[in-house]
Every structure is written in structure tokens, then in C-alpha cells.
Amino acid sequence: MKLLFIGDIVGQPGRRAVAELLPRLRGRHKLDFVIANGENSAGGSGITPRTAEEIFSAGVDVITSGDHLWDQKDVMELLASEKRFLRPLNYPPGTPGQGSGVFEVRSSEFGVRNLIGVLNVQGRTFMQPPLEHPFLLAAEEVKRLREQTKVIFVDFHAEATSEKIAFARFLDGQVSAVVGTHTHVQTADEQIFPGGTAYLSDAGFTGPHESVLGREIEPVIKRFLTNMPQRFEVAKERVILHGALVDIDGATGKATKIQRMAESLI
Ligand SMILES: [Fe+2]
Ligand SMILES: [Fe+2]
């Protein structure tokens, strides 16, 4: 089973990159399932039903999120009714929405029906707000998901590489892949752990790279120089789709290959 994960989609340039590049990537890599982090898809901050719809129509099957979850108030609509939209699992009980889901895979091998579990979890080291324990809650949720399928993908939205690696090592053998998001900087440590879990500390971001993490450069420099609040508009130039391509054995749920992806929008 071939799965593409797309790193944080930033604003209109990020959405355009997904719309234009994903159909090509689907064909070229014979993708069976596509997951994207959409926490920055609305003007760089948060997600709305409209930006989510744009991402789904481009061919994304499931959207994950992170600490920018609440930036747009319309997100409540998505949390209330969209099963293909995930928020971090480790919010307290009673929080609307869901942190995981089991979805049917449109397999390229005709007649083969597969299920995939997708899980979105947020780290706690250097992260606001501090949520419930990611390791313990993820382990419980993975156990539940494995009753339905061994193919499980985890988007771990976290800042610290130590927390990300420890979290993935903790789940090694229980899930097919753990890919990190949030830093917007793609790491070069893709690997498959001994238990069969594919790993990448951060997928990077999808959007304008002539920027600071997707935002216009000058206001960010000014903020660091003066500490005065600035408007951080989404930048425009050098749009790249960042992500990771994972091959998974549908029968065992183990990953057989992971590759970083950086596809430029020309
Ligand atoms: Fe984030
Ligand atoms: Fe982000």
C-alpha cells in the first residue's frame, strides 16, 4: 500500500500546490491513500470548512491538525461533523472532534479492500497548550485501532526531536509509520525501525519557501529585533510540497520503505 503524507499546508499557496501537484503524484507513485496536515491552511493559521473542502477535492483522504486547531472559529463545524478531519487525540475528554479514525483504502490492486487507521497526536515538550499524556493515550488508541487494522499512520505534531523519536520508538512495531509535523522544517532522518515502523522527525511544510516557515520574512526579522507584534502574512514565492512517501505491507502493517518528498510548483 502506498501512502503519501503531506506536511503542514500553509495558506493559499500551499492549497494551490496540493491541488496542482497531487493529481500528478497520485499517478506517478500509484498512491492508495493521502493524508495531509491542514493546521495552517486558512491564511496560515487554522483551518475552515472551505479550506478543508479545497484540500479534500484535491485528492486528500484525511486531514490532520495541531496546535493551530482553534485559530479559525469555523473549525467547530469541522470538529462537529467531518469524520475525515482529525484533531490531536490528547485533548481532555469532552473536546469536540476525534483524534483518530479508520478509513477504507481505494487500493490500486483491484479487489483488495484495506483499512487504514489514522491517528493525530500532539507533543508536550515546548508546546502550548500542554495536552494530556501523548505516549499513554496513543498506546491505548493504537491498541483499539489494531482490533480493526494493522495499517496505522500517526501524525505526531511536536517541536522537540527527542520527544518525536522517543514517541516513535515507543510505538515501534505497533504502527506502520510515525511522521512528525509542526516545525515546518523537513528533516533528513527517514528510516524504518527494527519493529517495522517507518519514521521521519518532520515532514516539512507545503507552501512558500522564500519565507520564514511560510510567512513573509521582514516582519519576522522585525519581531525578533524589536519584540514588537507584527502581522505575519503568508509569503508567496518558491512554493514546494513537502511530505513523505511510505510503502506499507497491507497484510502485516509493517512499512517496507519511506522516502522524503519535496516537489516544486513551477
Ligand atoms: Fe503546529
Ligand atoms: Fe504548522
Nearest of 40, 100, 102 to residue 65 by alpha carbon? 40
- How far is the centre of ligand 1, averaged over its atoms, from the C-alpha of 157 (Å)? 6
Ligand nearest to the CA of 42: 2
CB 147 within 8 A of CB 253: no
pLDDT single digits (tens) 167-195: 999 999 999 999 999 999 999 999 999 99
- How far is the centre of ligand 2, averaged over its atoms, from the C-alpha of 202 (Å)? 11
CB atoms within 10 A of CB 228: 8
Ligand nearest to the CA of 184: 2
| pLDDT value at residue 265 | 95
- How far is the centre of ligand 2, averaged over its atoms, from the C-alpha of 44 (Å)? 8
C-alpha distances (whole Å) from 265 to each of 188, 189, 211, 237, 260 are: 21, 24, 15, 10, 16
111 or 227: whose pLDDT is higher? 227
Query: pLDDT band at residue 112, thresholds of 50, 70 and 90?
Result: low
| pLDDT value at residue 244 | 98
Pairing state between β 152-157 and 177-181: parallel
Q: In this structure, is the dihedral angle defined by the CA atoms of residues 183, 187, 189 and 195, taken in order, positive or negative?
A: positive
3-state secondary structure of 171: helix
| pLDDT value at residue 79 | 98
Ligand nearest to the CA of 45: 2
Among residues 68, 157, 184, 209, which one is catalytic?
Answer: 68
Instruction: Please return the burial class of 178, using the count of CB atoms within 10 Å of its CB with bins 0-12, 13-18 and 19+.
Output: buried
Ligand nearest to the CA of 185: 2
pLDDT single digits (tens) 202-214: 999 999 999 999 9
- How far is the centre of ligand 1, averaged over its atoms, from the C-alpha of 109 (Å)? 35
113 or 221: whose pLDDT is higher? 221
pTM of the predicted structure, to 2 decimals: 0.97
pLDDT single digits (tens) 55-81: 999 999 999 999 999 999 999 999 999
| pLDDT value at residue 192 | 98
pLDDT single digits (tens) 3-62: 999 999 999 999 999 999 999 999 999 999 999 999 999 999 999 999 999 999 999 999
- 68 is annotated as an active-site residue: yes
Is the predicted pLDDT of residue 107 greater than 90, yes or no? no
| Mean pLDDT for all residues in the chain | 96
d(CA 203, CA 242): 6
| pLDDT value at residue 110 | 55
- How far is the centre of ligand 1, averaged over its atoms, from the C-alpha of 39 (Å)? 7
- How far is the centre of ligand 2, averaged over its atoms, from the C-alpha of 151 (Å)? 25
